[in-house]
Structure 1
């Protein structure tokens, strides 16, 4: 693959030879698109369109400097995500989760953990464009001891069914989001505050909820992985950005994303909006060493397409849960 520097030199020298800004602009667009396709870096349609718009602007300028900027800066920098960062954009939830695991296997680095165990690790940015388009369920991602565990986890996040265990386990996401307790004893329902703020000003940039309590979490062995959730209504749709400090990519990420999108739907219903895209950011997106064999095997299944046999529509999943519960009740 031709390097960014060589591409820049090639196009810039062509500018000097042809003395044609229009031709140079066309070449910048061509080389930019070619570089985007052939490089290992992740690109986005928006960024490529930005490149094209900038090079169109170049055609209307008289200064040779703009050619140099286009060649060295636009091609080399403006749309590239560093190769050590996972960037995934997918239409539905199971597809996004699978793609993130494949990317982790490709760019992840071995990093030691505070649990005396290695992990394969990388920062991750995952965009789910249509989080409620079916199929939504990935059976492989339900790591909760039972098939129904996914539904229980949603109830834990939204309804607080395990808040009675906070003194024992340290926190639940519902407890931190819906009953955030300050050192002076004051309790804040952050999600209700978010709803009220969005009802008043749908485009606000201030509708967010946090989990971190530095007076407690800096000293505990198991602080919350979820750090912050940000909401905004754009074009009548509620978008949600979730920021995790740490996320087990194999054993937790899918269930996290599923439950958080259910929270997104809950808030959307309260503010009278449809559900928009979902953005999941993890500073440490990782798989522990003890799970590497399982992880590598699953990645191969994803690449072959076999893993899609584990995708289910929501009603299919609920039917499976119901049948299993009937079998278990009869066994009693």
Structure 2
């Protein structure tokens, strides 16, 4: 099957809302029952319908000529109808299951929060931020202590289940404007809608200003859906009510495949989509869990080794 035939087959899953042209960035929507399907459709969409545009990361030669092709880019709305549905994991995401578990711990458990630099120290060259640090320990100059925004979400929804005010943000305008690596994810917005049986469903909207569709988006979504699951569980414990997940939706202002990665995308991702059945290019969480468990001691040692190296360098 070629790409046009595949897109035609998925016309109820991949939508070209506004095509590129006349300086307009295309607007696309991709959806799927499970995460693996939705992410796959989002990549097919941006590859087929995205515009070509340059980025700050395109390599140049000594004369200033670009070495990399332009990126494929769009504004993307990615919808996962049943966030915990299986198969959840797509085999074609760059990186292995060790990396996926490490990223999950980074976002949900804050295993790298101590790598965030001191913004008042110009000599500190550690990371600008982690998502966990911004979500769970958001700090503001002049305000004592830090804000656990996810705890506030749980409290807010428990107090008022119809609230539209329960969100968490990452952007710090006083720090992020003009820095080299500002936060890509901007906000999480949670809202409850009861289903037809009266069971609370926790819906999540996520917004990214910029998103590496091929290298990063799958791991982002995987970790954030598990965060959605955690918030639902905490809300259930607090209220004594059953809370299930509603849909997961994220919007990316710039959803892109870098030009330097297009060949790898075509050779690795696109060929598998064209030649293998969906079951052959996905895994379930149950399949992956033993690999995650095996990875956890290695991840702890990896972080510890990097910490030791940093201390030696200091």
**TM-score by shorter chain over 0.5:** yes
* Further displaced range: 85-94 or 112-121: 112-121
Partner of 1:169: helix, strand, or coil? coil
2:259 to 271, 274, 289: 289
Alpha-carbon separation, structure 1, partners of 2:16 and 2:29: 10
Structure 1 Cα separation of the partners of residues 10 and 99 of structure 2: 37
Contact persistence 2:31–2:37 (CA under 8 A): no
Instruction: Measure how far apart 1:319 and its partner are.
Output: 2.7
Runs of 4+ in 1 over 6 A off after TM superposition: 39-44, 323-327
Matches within 5 A, 1:94-173: 94-117=36-59, 118-143=70-95, 146-167=96-117, 168-173=126-131
State the partner residue of 1:303. 274
Give the aligned partner of residue 16 of structure 1. Answer: none
**Cα root mean square deviation, aligned:** 2.7
Which protein shows a greater Rg? 1
2-structure distance, mates of 1:183, 1:136: 40
| Matched residue count | 255
Deviations 1:19-59 (A, max 9, x none): xxxxxxxxxxxxxxxxxxxx999779xxxxxxxxxxxxxxx
Q: Answer 1 or 2: which has greater helix percent.
A: 1
Aligned to 1:280: 250
Q: How does 1:317-328 map to 2 (within 5 A)?
A: 317-321=288-292
Alpha-carbon distance in 2 for matches of 1:278, 1:220: 30
**Equivalent runs, 1:1-332 vs 2, <5 Å:** 81-83=17-19, 84-117=26-59, 118-143=70-95, 146-167=96-117, 168-186=126-144, 187-235=146-194, 236-272=200-236, 273-297=243-267, 298-306=269-277, 308-321=279-292
Q: 1:80 to 1:322 in 2, by over 3 A?
A: closer
In the superposition, the TM-score normalised over structure 1's length comes to 0.71
1:276-330 CA-to-partner distances (Å, cap 9, x unmatched) read 1100110101011110101123224223445642311111112344567899xxx
Q: Summarize deviations over 1:146-186 as a string: whole Å, max 9, x none.
A: 53121121111111111000111110000000000101143
Unaligned runs of 5+ in 2: 1-7, 20-25, 60-69, 118-125, 195-199, 237-242, 299-314
User: Matches of 2:285 and 2:16 in 1, distance apart?
Assistant: 36
Give the match's secondary structure for 1:140: coil
